[in-house]
Amino acid sequence: MAKQTRNVPKPEPAFGQGLTQFAARNQKTLFWFSFGLMAVMSLLLFNMRVSEGGDDSTYLCRAMEVVASGRYPDFQGPAYPLFLSLFIFAFGFNLILLKLTSLACMLTGHWLLYRLLRGRVNPLLLVAVLGLTAVNSWLLYYASQTYSEPLFMCVQYLFCILFFRFSERTGLTARQTFAASAAVAAVILAAMLVRTIGIGFLIVAALSLCIDRKFRKAFSLCLAFVLCWLLWLGVYHVVWGSSVKSKSSGQIEQLMLKHPYQLENGREDFMGFVGRFGGNSKLYLSKHFAIITGFKDADSRETSTPLTVLYYLIFAAAMVLPLQPLRLLRRPPRGGDAGRHLRGAAGAVGPVQADDHLPAADDDARALRRLRHSPLRAGRRRGRGRGGAAAVHRRMLERGQLARPD
């Protein structure tokens, strides 16, 4: 006797689910709308004057020195003056054109941000991030200034894209692993040459790979960066030679002073650096960051220690919480509860039982993707974790989402 199946009425999507489905269906259209909106807003806010900050004009002067005398811009990040010098060499000194390069970098960064987040975050969150960045006047300010931030953001997004691909790819040969790590290392070197803080990309990337127990990839990335750095030093020596005196020591010496323009105040001690770190944290997090994100009025001059501490707690949670699923996935319990445990760690809902209602197809698809690209694959080779992946795979076969093997 054939088994009777119950027709369970399909529930109406909730308000948030409906928006998410709309964003998923029209993701590319919404991106291009935000892209055009960002271009229009940048042109409306375009400032043709040099800013009062000073650094933007300093970059222009160093770019002119590169073209006029070939002098290497070695006090701050050298990559941005070298980038500007290409346009000065080709078109002469045209301030509007040089400012338009910042606009081009902002739009390119917006596109790279879309490529980075697409398929990794909720579509509704992706659209919200793209929309907010497209109209944020504090970000669009840099679209008409010759600061290095727009170029650095492009390199930063490109690093994230390449690093995620490098970290997630499996089954690579030694040559393919080194080629992929060399591409990531080259982008890290470019970020460091744009802004010195870019060296932090290497630290974060190596630490992330070590936490994920991908030690060979971490070693390959560090080795590739050393080789890229040596290659850059060779190019530097050939083009500029030893006649150029490095100013890096002078820059470090300036950072050690209590006041960069008042030498009589002396050098900073350890506790002075601690106080400087706390003061800068309050200034840039509780004031500037809060203004940029819209939580404070633009004319606000107040700083807040509790708000600064709250931001650091949020940052710490964002770094620690993603590690918990990895810990659960690496240590599945033995016995019949292994499949249930693995499904919970992979994002599925509830234990696998014969009389369970089948979860949504999208949930199973996401669970299967996470199972495929997680340390579970290593566990399955050791004979563990079969229940979770097999259960998800079986349900998707029943719905026709996967082709049955012949």
Are 232 and 350 part of one and the same domain? no
Are 235 and 121 part of one and the same domain? yes
Please indicate, yes or no, if residue 349 is contained in any of the structural domains: yes
Please indicate, yes or no, if residue 282 is contained in any of the structural domains: no
C-alpha radius of gyration, the chain, whole number: 26
Identify the band that residue 332 occupies on the pLDDT scale cut at 50, 70 and 90.
Answer: very low
Higher pLDDT, 285 or 335: 285
How is residue 322 annotated by DSSP? T
Are 230 and 375 part of one and the same domain? no
pTM (2 decimals)? Answer: 0.73
- Which of 222, 242, 262 represents a domain boundary (last residue)? 242
pLDDT score at 156: 96
pLDDT score at 272: 79
Is the pLDDT assigned to residue 380 strictly greater than 50? Answer: no
Are 226 and 341 part of one and the same domain? no
Identify the band that residue 252 occupies on the pLDDT scale cut at 50, 70 and 90.
Answer: low
CA dist., res. 105 & res. 354, Å (int): 54
pLDDT score at 326: 53
End-to-end Cα separation, the chain, in angstroms: 27
Are 235 and 96 part of one and the same domain? yes
Please indicate, yes or no, if residue 163 is contained in any of the structural domains: yes
CA dist., res. 255 & res. 337, Å (int): 57
CA dist., res. 327 & res. 211, Å (int): 10
Is the pLDDT assigned to residue 274 strictly greater than 60? Answer: yes
Ranges 58-62, 366-370, 376-380, 392-396: which has the least confidence = 376-380
Structure tokens at 345: 């760690």
Range of the domain at 374: 337-399
Is the pLDDT assigned to residue 387 strictly greater than 80? Answer: no
Please indicate, yes or no, if residue 136 is contained in any of the structural domains: yes
Is the pLDDT assigned to residue 185 strictly greater than 50? Answer: yes
Please indicate, yes or no, if residue 247 is contained in any of the structural domains: no
pLDDT score at 105: 96
How is residue 3 annotated by DSSP? P
Please indicate, yes or no, if residue 265 is contained in any of the structural domains: no
Listed ranges 14-18, 95-99, 251-255; the one with the highest mean pLDDT: 95-99
Interval 120-137: pLDDT, tens:
889 999 999 999 999 999
Please indicate, yes or no, if residue 312 is contained in any of the structural domains: no
Is the pLDDT assigned to residue 16 strictly greater than 80? Answer: no
Are 195 and 87 part of one and the same domain? yes
Is the pLDDT assigned to residue 152 strictly greater than 50? Answer: yes
Is the pLDDT assigned to residue 110 strictly greater than 90? Answer: yes
Over residues 321-343, the mean pLDDT reads 50
Over residues 240-265, the mean pLDDT reads 64
Are 225 and 351 part of one and the same domain? no
Interval 27-80: pLDDT, tens:
999 999 999 999 999 999 999 888 777 788 889 999 999 999 888 887 778 999
Ranges 3-12, 37-46, 144-153: which has the least confidence = 3-12
State the helix-helix crossing angle for 174-194 and 79-91, rounded to 10 degrees: 80
pLDDT score at 256: 73
Over residues 154-175, the mean pLDDT reads 93
- Which of 193, 223, 242 represents a domain boundary (last residue)? 242
Is the pLDDT assigned to residue 329 strictly greater than 90? Answer: no
Q: How many residues does the chain have?
A: 406
Higher pLDDT, 193 or 403: 193
Higher pLDDT, 182 or 347: 182
- Which of 215, 242, 269 represents a domain boundary (last residue)? 242
CA dist., res. 163 & res. 184, Å (int): 6
Higher pLDDT, 208 or 338: 208
pLDDT score at 211: 87
Is the pLDDT assigned to residue 201 strictly greater than 80? Answer: yes
Ranges 84-98, 101-115, 265-279: which has the least confidence = 265-279
Q: What is the DSSP string of 231-264?
A: HHHHHHHHHHGGGSPP-HHHHHHHHHBSSTT-GG
Are 379 and 234 part of one and the same domain? no
Are 70 and 194 part of one and the same domain? yes
CA dist., res. 257 & res. 234, Å (int): 32
Are 204 and 341 part of one and the same domain? no
Provide the number of structural domains found in the chain.
Answer: 2
Are 224 and 362 part of one and the same domain? no
Is the pLDDT assigned to residue 199 strictly greater than 60? Answer: yes
Higher pLDDT, 260 or 170: 170
pLDDT score at 240: 84
Are 65 and 207 part of one and the same domain? yes
CA angle 210-211-212, nearest 5°?
Answer: 90
Give the chain's mean pLDDT: 79
CA dist., res. 62 & res. 60, Å (int): 5
What letters, b where the CB count within 10 A reaches 16 and e where it falls short, cover 223-241?
Answer: ebbeebeeeeeeebeeeee
Please indicate, yes or no, if residue 251 is contained in any of the structural domains: no
Higher pLDDT, 335 or 62: 62
